[in-house]
Structure 1
Amino acid sequence: MTTLDQVLEHLSRRTDQSYGRDDLRDRLVAGRPLRIKFGVDCTAPDLHLEHAVNLWMMRYLQDLGQVVVFLLGDITTRIGDPTGRSTTRPVLTAEQIERNAQAFLEQVSMVLRKEPAVLEIRRNAEWFDTMPITELLGELSLVPQGRLMSRDMFQSRVEERREIAMHELIYPVLQGFDSVALRLDITHRRIRPTVQWDHGAGAPGQAWTATADRHHEHTHARLDGGPKQSKSLGNYVGLAQPAEEKFGRLMTLNDDLIGLWAKVYTELPFADVSELARRASLGGVQARDAKLDLAEAIVARHHGASPSSACSPMAGSPRACRNCVCRST
């Protein structure tokens, strides 16, 4: 049986910052199913391993009986997440948004359980399409301008003398309200605490616990060691890619990232992660085999392969994996 400390340790493994940890502990002890948000805007629907970090955390919680609320931001997509953007995003048509939404649902189903008891699909058009302007103004009044402008994405634009559109400034506030509308227990959006507390956090069904997922350059390094996986640069491992293609891409990973990727993208025990990192640091054949082990562990996790004892990720032998889907070719 999974203990409370094991749950918290598992969540902490891939969490850079957390808010309300004691509250989370109390809620887990109470025993009622928690509501956990995973939100996406319906822009380019190609998910990669960076996105899968949160999906696997959600799946872990689903397996414990918690409820994942998968939120399709069909309204916020019309604004576009300004994170990491030096320019305003182009506006998508309703048809493009719907097409992308369906593609997202297909891809996340590769990780998340789909039973209604543990998965709820929502769209934020449910509340924003009918929100009066007076209510929207009330939501905007809850977040100080200085807090919004302190975010790195806006600061960098100011320094570069690039424009910031008004609708981009309210984007984080709308995300915060999503959490209020869904009556969540856990979310990974950092703007949420201000909005949620001002909506009566602490009341039954509305108290909040938030965890911030890892969106830092040192964590989600791309295959070639740069700061971010990107389809346009071809330096990513796509969630929907076939097992063989995932494996091939993983074998191009920089040796010095093997330990980091093992920690973030696998379920290997920390002792095994450290061993992979040690072998990778030796270079040569040792590093190659460590990368083989990492690639097999990641692909097996996503494609349900069951490695034989001869090709266990910790076997450490320079072998071809004959029985795994990842090495079937």
Structure 2
Amino acid sequence: MTTTDDRTQAQDWTPRYLEKGGFERDTDYIPDRITLEEGRSQDPYVGQLESRTWPATPGRYRLVAARACPWANRSIIVRELLGLQDVISLGTPGPTHDARSWVFDLDPDETDPVLGIHRLQEAYLNRFPDYPKGITVPAMVEVGTTQVVTNDFPQITHDLFFEWRDHHRPDAPDLWPADCREEMEEVMKRVYTEVNNGVYRCGFAGDQESYDAAYDRLWTAMDWLEERLTGRRFLMGDTITEADVRLFTTLVRFDAVYHGHFKCNRNKLVEMPALWGYARDLFQTPGFGDTVDFEQVKQHYYVVHTDINPTAIVPRGPDLSGWHTPHHRERL
């Protein structure tokens, strides 16, 4: 349980997000990977592995992924799409945290029932006692030792597809099709730099010049996506790929959070016909919308980002009922 001392101490660990001169994301993650066998990868595009590798053994790892976080949400979606629920367990911290860590405050006694820890930070410190960086989700944690294995979020979903293939459900989608992978990598790179991270550049800008530049970059990319998705159902054509997973987690948060809280307010997602239809198409696909908790999403952004929203007031809107309306994207 959270004690009074814990709450008092947490007040001294208030995270800060606004950055003078523009926001730059720290992408220095724990580089370890979980592969088919220790030291051997199923990914035909990867040569010799440079980081430490751990064997893909069912039941050995727990994916810790807060539903509020877009980077973590993508790992939950991929786990669902590939049918790995019985192979890799899922721990879900609550939507709010301080600078120290995400907390399992949604579980009984505020303790993860499998790992037996209150804060995700404990798993990081169990392996790296002097871990100097932020405690991020998603994270793969070894159950037996309660030690973090990796928090490299793009590599986690990549390896869920390539390295856990022996455990995928029979009809699992091909999220990394070989015939379009080169183009898909380019699309995902632009989606990440300009959209996934672009909304954060707007929201965490500490001065007008940085914000204006971030805003222009974001909407240039959003217009590019609107045009691309006008004539095709998904980013790479007729089937869902990892590229769609990566874009979806930003789009599903756009009107609820990024439009207002991050000042990405040229227009709402619902005002972009192709993107809005595309986002609803994915939301209504099993494995996507059923992993999204809008209340947790809003709690996370509006409560945690105290330097942006010092009152911690969480808006009651917007109306989210439109996510379940017909999209007619199957006609494409």
TM-score (norm 1): 0.32
Return the structure number with greater relative CO, CA threshold 8 A, min gap 6: 2
TM-score (norm 2): 0.32
